[in-house]
Structure formats: structure tokens, C-alpha cells
Amino acid sequence: MEGKRVLVTGGGGFIGSNLANHLAEDNDVVALDDGYLGTPENLDEDVEYVERSVLEDDLPVEDVDVLFHLAALSSLKMHEDSRDNLLRGLRVNVEGFANTVEQCRQAGCDTVVYASTSSIYGSRTEPSPESMSVAANTGYEASKLARERYAEYFANYHDMAMAGMRFFSVYQGYRGAEEHKGEFANIVAQFADDIANGESPVIYGDGTHSRDLTHVSDVVRGCELAADHELTGIYNLGTGEQHTANEIVETLCDVLEKTVEPEHVENPIDEDVFVSHTMADYEKMRDATGWEPTVEFREGMKLVCEPYLDD
């Protein structure tokens, strides 16, 4: 993609800032963020940062060619069982999405790529295709499914290109765009930082739960390709592999040449909503765009650890 005016919501956050910085090499990029978990410090100088909420009127949508909508209240925050968090998540994740897309549409934009979630597949040790049945077991998942339905409306009624990306456990190290987030950072970044500093990473349960770990660079590339191809529908971005929490810690210790034992604690997340295993089937995305993951597991762990090894 080049020569476009691009709006990235959640643009000061983890995935959003990586995407904004990448696109800014060849495009005019505006990163919009409310400052909740995002920060302008994550962004390069050639990205315009606007601190606004996706719930506001008069968003900076003039002349926008492509909207990348990543803004959302996090799943961790919405897992905190309270009416306030449920309603806040509903407003930000659903109303904020519809509000931003509609303003962009009225300004002439007809291409949208947005973040959904892979957690709606539940616990799977087999690859999860987009065609399988999904369910909402949390308020966060319900809000992302509602987002997909509103996208369907925009595609069918307004003939917009609406690509929903179901991300699988996106990661990067603390020296990327995660350090300021603390407990909201991805577990790979948290584990690596603990181990590099000689501290025991905290693992929920026995550590046999597994994730399809997808490096942020592959996710950024997938989002850009979805816009380039003006995709409509739902697409998985994942590796088709899964690795346990224990394996992550063992590999990070090996790369960092540290001997640190993890601390296993009782899982604080209700077992009815905790997703034990995830694995993507990315065939649909590959067939549509040629996308495939390029960062394999150990290489990704090395990328996360590089800043500590360089110190």
C-alpha cells in the first residue's frame, strides 16, 4: 500500500502502533487513540497522533482512504466482572466501531480492516477455520461478534470492503510497544522480561495450556494485504501451530541463557471462560492474498530477547 491517507484507531497501542509505523513509510497516517493503553511514544515522528475517543463526533476522517480499526477495551479489563466494565466494553467495542466506520463512510472511505478475536473459537487443539461455529462466553467476545455483524451490515447495505481479522495471540517484546502496559502486555513479553531480570515468570495452572503465537510483524503484513485486496469477510491471522506456556518459558530461558524456574499459581480466570488451547487455520487468508506467517516460534523468541542480549 502506498500513497494513501490512512486512519488507525487504537494507533498508540501495541498492534496499532506497529501497523501505523509500518504504513507511514509509504502513506499519510493518522493514529487515533484515547490514551487508555496506547501512547504517542510508540509512534514514529512521521505518524500524526490524535488523542481522541472512537465514541466522539467529528473524528479526523477527511480524505481517509483506508480505516484500520483496532481500538477496543481489552479482554482482560472486560473479564473483571462488573456492570461498568460490561457497558464500557459495549460502548467502545461496538458503538465506537460503528461510529468510526460510519463517519469514515460519510467522508468517502469504503475500505475497512478491523480487529475481531480468535477466542470465540474456544479451546481447540485442531486448526480453527473461519467457517466453524463460534460462541460468546465473555462480554469481550460478545462485543467482537457484534462488531462482525455490524461489519456485515456495512458490507451488504453500503457495499464497503469490510475485513475482520481474527488475531491469534499476537506478541512482541517489551522493547517494542508493550512495556508501559504491565499486566496488559502479551505473556511472551512479560515472561521474557522476568527471565532476563532473573525473576520467576508466573504461569497459570500447570502450564500445559497452549497458544498459536503470531509475531506482530506478520499481523501487520496481514492487515495491509487485507486492505490492498479490499477483502470482505472474516479471516484468521495465525501460524497453525501451538506452544505451551511451559515451552515458551523453556525456550526464552534457553535463548537468554538463564536458569529460572517459573512460579505456577492457581488460574484466576474462571475455567468456563479460560481458553486452554488455540490454533489457526489460515488457509482462507492465504488463498485470498498469498499471506503466510514468516516468523517461526524460536525465531520469534529470539526477536523478543534481542534487546536484552544487546544490553
Same domain, 273 and 138: no
Q: Considering only 25-34, 197-206, 231-240, which range has the smallest mean pLDDT? A: 197-206
Instruction: Verify that 226 and 251 share a domain, yes or no.
Output: no
Q: Is the pLDDT of residue 165 over 80?
A: yes
Pair 129, 142 in one domain:
yes
> Lowest-confidence range among 52-66, 79-93, 222-236?
79-93
Q: Within this chain, do residues 54 and 138 fall inside the same structural domain, yes or no?
A: yes
223-233 b/e with 16+ CB inside 10 Å = b? bbbbbebebbb
Torsion of CA 171, 173, 178, 180, to 10 degrees: 150
Supply φ then ψ for residue 199, to 5 degrees: -105, 155
Assigned domain for 256 exists: yes
150 and 71, same structural domain? yes
Is residue 86 located within the same domain as residue 66?
Answer: yes
Evaluate whether 243 touches 211 at the Cβ level (below 8 Å): yes
Residues 113, 220 share a domain: yes
Asked whether residue 135 falls in the same domain as residue 259, the answer is no
pLDDT > 90? residue 257: yes
CATH number for 51: 3.40.50.720
**Per-residue model confidence (pLDDT) at position 292:** 97
Least confident stretch, 62-71, 73-82, 203-212: 73-82
Question: What confidence tens digit (pLDDT) does each residue in 169-213 have?
Answer: 999 988 766 666 666 678 899 999 999 999 999 999 899 999 999
Residue range(s) defining the domain that contains residue 269: 179-209+242-278+296-310
Three-class DSSP labels, 5-65: EEEEECCCCHHHHHHHHHHCCCCEEEEEECCCCCCHHHCCCCCEEEECCCCCCCCCCCCCC
Report the CATH number at residue 192.
3.90.25.10
Q: How many domains does the chain have?
A: 2
pLDDT at residue 182, as a whole number: 63
Return the C-alpha cell found at 157.
447495505
135 and 264 fall within a common domain: no
Kindly state whether residue 290 falls inside one of the protein's structural domains: no
Q: 284 in a domain, yes or no? A: no
Mean per-residue pLDDT over the chain, rounded? 93
